[in-house]
């Protein structure tokens, strides 16, 4: 049995299959809405159901609270319809020409950028190219490890090779990449996925906020912006625990010297006697010290879920950042 889903304010509608979630049904029909992890962990797909009966599916109280449910909010990547429904969300037209594909690829290089960060390049089949927006991610699929999401660190104009940065979290996927995967191995991936990309219909100054390997999609976006000669002011705040976490510090310094990008590295776990002369503390708090008012900015935040959530909450509540000017990908853990 199918149910009709109507999207407000556009009045577009589509048929949802019996066991399909709202997000999958919309994407299948080429209707793009905000999303990130697709497993109920990040909250990016949260939007309102205006009428109809739904089943919320699996989620945590921290991602969708009881109060939000009472106001009609739901996580579209988990929610199924039990009747025809009317939902309210903004559609993302920039993704209309992007096709999600299942593709084979070959591991071209595996290089340590830091003791716990692997730089991976994937070669696409010679006749293929992948159309994506800088900042999107892919899901790596292998029989040897669970499916995991990794952001594309290279910009779309760099054809043929996809660059990824993986932190060793110690889980099954990290162990597979750090201990078993070899150059020339064949993998498959699904992508491009996600809605973390640069909105180019505004001239607002951009504030990039990364923790650890959250730098990966931000690197892609900055390289895309430089290639396109986008004239907007850009600042990059990159946080880690120790210096090694800022594994491409020299590249960010080079952007600052040659392209005028304001670069602020911030470290949170240094011993007091460490000779580091840069900023210390939490990276999103460093932003708030420098920018107590963010009303005219766009913020792009990526990395640890706690950093992304703290930045969203504090920038909106204390720095007057409009909610619609905060874009993020939280690196939520993969499903077991």
Going by C-alpha positions, the residue among 50, 46, 42, 17 that lies closest to residue 33 is 46
Q: Which of 36, 135, 156, 191: binder of ligand FAD (CB under 6 A)?
A: 36
Q: Is residue 171 involved in binding ligand FAD (CB under 6 A)? A: yes
Gyration radius of the chain's alpha carbons? 20
Distance CA 117, CA 137 (A): 17
Closest CB to ligand FES among 77 and 114? Answer: 77
Give me the least distance between CB of 82 and ligand FES, in Å please.
19
Interacting span for ligand FAD (CB under 6 A) from 67-75, 102-110, 144-152, 238-246 = 144-152
For residue 229, CA distances in Å to 1, 32, 202, 225, 248 come to: 50, 27, 14, 6, 22
Distance CA 18, CA 80 (A): 8
Closest-CB residue for ligand FAD?
171
* Interface contacts to ligand FES, rule CB under 6 A: 35-38, 40-45, 63, 75, 77
Interacting span for ligand FAD (CB under 6 A) from 91-99, 253-261, 279-287, 327-335 = 327-335
Give me the least distance between CB of 33 and ligand FAD, in Å please.
15
Interacting span for ligand FAD (CB under 6 A) from 65-73, 127-135, 271-279, 326-334 = 326-334
Residue by residue, DSSP assigns 175-190 as HIIIII--TT-EEEEE
Distance CA 49, CA 53 (A): 9
Closest CB to ligand FAD among 62 and 83? Answer: 62
Closest CB to ligand FAD among 102 and 306? Answer: 306
Query: What is the edge-to-edge ordering of all strands in the sheet holding 279-280?
Result: 279-280, 262-267, 234-240, 206-211, 298-303, 326-330
Q: Is residue 169 involved in binding ligand FAD (CB under 6 A)? A: yes
* CA atoms 211, 214, 220, 221: torsion sign: negative
Q: Which of residues 209-238 bind ligand FAD (CB under 6 A)?
A: 213, 216
Greatest Cα pair distance in the chain:
66
Q: Is residue 44 involved in binding ligand FAD (CB under 6 A)? A: no
Residue 136 contact among ligand FES, ligand FAD, none, beta carbon within 5 to 8 Å by kind: none
Asked whether 286 and 264 are in contact (CB, 8 A), the reply is: yes
Residue 327 contact among ligand FES, ligand FAD, none, beta carbon within 5 to 8 Å by kind: none
Closest CB to ligand FES among 62 and 203? Answer: 62
Query: What is the edge-to-edge ordering of all strands in the sheet holding 12-16?
Result: 12-16, 3-8, 85-88, 46-51, 73-75
Residue 77 contact among ligand FAD, ligand FES, none, beta carbon within 5 to 8 Å by kind: ligand FES
Interacting span for ligand FAD (CB under 6 A) from 11-19, 163-171, 257-265, 317-325 = 163-171
β-partners of residue 4 are: 15
């Amino acid at each position: 049995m199918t149910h009709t889903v109507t999207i407000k304010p556009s009045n577009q509608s589509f048929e949802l299959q019996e066991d399909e979630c709202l997000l999958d049904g919309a994407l299948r029909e080429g209707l793009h809405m905000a999303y990130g992890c697709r497993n109920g962990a990040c909250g990016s797909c949260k939007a309102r159901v205006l009428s109809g009966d739904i089943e919320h599916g699996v989620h945590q109280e921290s991602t969708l609270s009881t109060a939000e449910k009472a106001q009609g909010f739901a996580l579209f990547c988990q929610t199924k319809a039990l009747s025809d429904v009317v939902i309210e969300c903004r559609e993302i037209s920039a993704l209309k020409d992007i096709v999600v594909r299942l593709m084979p690829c070959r591991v071209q290089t595996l290089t340590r950028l830091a003791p716990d960060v692997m730089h991976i390049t994937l070669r696409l089949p010679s006749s293929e190219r992948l159309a994506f927006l800088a900042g999107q991610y892919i899901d790596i699929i292998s029989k040897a490890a669970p499916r995991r999401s990794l952001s594309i660190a290279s910009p779309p104009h760099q054809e043929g090779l996809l660059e990824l940065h993986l932190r060793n979290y110690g889980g099954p996927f990290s162990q597979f990449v750090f201990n078993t995967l070899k150059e020339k191995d064949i993998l498959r991936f699904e992508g491009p996925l996600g809605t973390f990309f640069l909105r180019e219909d505004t001239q607002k100054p951009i504030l990039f906020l990364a923790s650890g390997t959250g730098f990966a999609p931000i690197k892609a976006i900055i390289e895309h912006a430089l290639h396109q000669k986008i004239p907007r002011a850009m600042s990059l705040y990159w946080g880690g625990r120790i210096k090694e976490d800022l594994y491409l510090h020299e590249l960010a310094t080079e952007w600052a010297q040659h392209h005028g990008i304001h670069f602020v590295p911030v470290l949170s776990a240094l011993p007091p006697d460490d000779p580091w002369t840069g900023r210390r503390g939490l990276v999103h708090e460093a932003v708030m010290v420098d920018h107590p008012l963010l009303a005219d900015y766009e913020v792009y935040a990526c990395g640890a879920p706690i950093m992304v959530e703290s930045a969203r909450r504090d920038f909106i509540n204390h720095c007057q950042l409009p909610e619609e000017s905060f874009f993020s990908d939280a690196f939520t853990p993969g499903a077991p």
